[in-house]
Structure 1
Amino acid sequence: MRIHVRTENGRIVEAVGVEQIESRWELHKQAAKDRSVFTAEDLLGEYNRIDDLFGEMIAFVKATSGNGK
C-alpha cells in the first residue's frame, strides 16, 4: 500500500508505504532522497511521546488561562 501526500499546488512531497517484513510490519516514509523505516515499536514509542506532550500542552494552556492549576 502506498499513499502519496500532495501539497496545496498538487505536487507530491512524500510517499508512505506499509510492508510486512517476515513476522512484523514496517512503515516506510520516502521524502525527497531520504527514506525512513519505522517498526511498530518505533511508532508506539512516538505515539506515547506525542500523547504525553499533548497532555502537557493542555495543562499549560489551562494554567496560563486561569482555568486550572
Structure 2
Amino acid sequence: MTGIAGRVEQTLFTRFAPLIIKHVEAVPPRAAQGLVAEVYQQMRDEFQLVPPVTLHAPVPRLLAAVWGMLRARHSLH
C-alpha cells in the first residue's frame, strides 16, 4: 500500500496494535525475515498487512497457514 493508506496502516500496525496486544510480541514489518517477510509482502501486495493476522508471526508456519486460508477464502468471493 502506498500513499496515505499505507501510512495509516503502518501507524496502526507499529504504534497502536502493540498497545492492545498483551501476551504475544508481534514481529514488526521492518524486523520480519524469511517466511514471515515473505508472508508480510504477500499480504501487502494482495490484501493489507493486518495485526490480527500478523499476531501469528512468532510462529512463521502458523502465520503462513492462516494467510493461506484467508487468501483462499478471499478468492472465493
TM range (shorter): 0.3 to 0.5
Question: If each structure's helix is expressed as a fraction of its own residues, which one has the higher value?
Answer: 2
What TM-score do the two structures reach when normalised by structure 1?
A: 0.36
Structure having greater relative contact order (Cα 8 Å, sep ≥ 6): 2
What TM-score do the two structures reach when normalised by structure 2?
A: 0.33
Question: If each structure's strand is expressed as a fraction of its own residues, which one has the higher value?
Answer: 1
